[in-house]
Amino acid sequence: MDIKGDSAIRRKTLYGSSPENTYSGVLSFMRRNYSRELEGVDVVVSGIPLDLATTFRPGARLGPAAVRAASVQLGELMAFPWGFDPFDELAVIDYGDCWFDAHNPLTIAPTIVEHARTILASGAKMLTFGGDHFITYPLLKAHAEKYGKPLSLIHFDAHCDTWADDNPDSLNHGTMFYKAVKEGLVDPATSVQIGIRTWNEDFLGFNIIDAPWVHEHGTAATLARILSIVGERPTYLTFDIDCLDPAFAPGTGTPVAGGLSSAQALALVRGMGPVNLVGMDVVEVAPPFDHSEVTALAAAHLAADMLCVLRNQKLAARNAIKK
């Protein structure tokens, strides 16, 4: 008989979905098994509840919990517009949150690196929820070790996060991609930043598709540019929720008017199938500034679509082997 309720702690298999009341039960992401067992896992969802690196409004430490809570209805029905349950083919667990000592800041980045190394060593991919955007920097370190550096980066954001910062110990969510470039973790020439609408005198060679360009040319043209830039290179995808206009994502630390709509962002993420994705994150959801959970809902939908993309990539790889 099917398990009904609390499947995140009662389901015996990594695959499939179980009946739940959307308004109750253990709140893992899309009701996936809470587990630290990595054998046979395709994708590990985990949270990094950090907001010590914010430069304006705090609150992103509460983001992972909010995204999990907002995901409950997405685990109930077939995925739209895909028409399938991604978990029939994709083994996904919720690993819980990365624990770090928030009162000893210099240990935080190395702790996140070790968290990611443990997961990546199993062969699983990571889908990580922030937390502020600084978390992508130690995640990139671990992914570059695993997949080789430099990686390509697909970066959705209102901000380029490439402002100069030569202090190796600083926690700053506006400078980590400056450091990533300087350390050779990412190649800006084969990377792209989408939705940008703040100025920097030096974008460090990143390809910029700013928000006005997306609005003027549309998602199809934007997606074509993204795919042409990254090609088949190993690519890390990071989505700062403030890429969305504050009308669609008010619950974030540094909102900027004029951003993408949730529909535009979802269309772009759904088009990532040709990309050689090695890791992903969704960051900067700050529930204290949210309204009716609209920001967390957008983040949960984006993350769910990322998993659907990975499901299709897994099937495509399997079919290629059979041929």
The tens digit of pLDDT for each residue in 24-64 reads 989 999 999 999 999 999 999 999 999 999 999 999 999 99
Report whether pLDDT(107) > 80.
Answer: yes
The CA-atom distances, in angstroms, between 170 and each of 62, 131, 173, 198, 273 are 22, 16, 10, 22, 35
- pLDDT score for 1: 41
pLDDT of residue 18: 87
pLDDT the model gives residue 69: 97
Q: Residue 89's pLDDT is what?
A: 97
Please tell me the predicted confidence (pLDDT) of residue 75: 87
What's the whole-number mean pLDDT along residues 304-313?
Answer: 98
Residue 321: per-residue pLDDT: 83
When the pLDDT of each residue in the chain is averaged and rounded to a whole number, the result is: 96
In three-state form (DSSP H/G/I as H, E/B as E, the rest C), the secondary structure along 204-236 is: CCCEEEEHHHHHHHHHHHHHHHHHHHHCCCCEE
pLDDT digits (tens, 9 = 90+) for 235-277: 999 999 999 999 999 999 999 999 999 999 999 999 999 999 9
47 preceded by cis ω (within 30°)?
Answer: no
Query: What's the whole-model pTM score?
Result: 0.96
The larger pLDDT score, comparing residue 137 to residue 319, is at 137
Rounded CA gap, 194 and 222, in Å?
A: 9
Could you say which of 3.40.50.880, 3.40.800.10, 3.30.1490.20, 3.30.420.40 is the CATH number of the domain covering 7-322? Answer: 3.40.800.10
Sign of CA dihedral 143, 145, 147, 150: positive
**pLDDT exceeds 60 at position 153:** yes
Q: What is the mean pLDDT of residues 139-156?
A: 98
Measured distance CA(300)–CA(87) in Å, rounded? 16
Q: Is the pLDDT confidence value at 173 over 90? A: yes
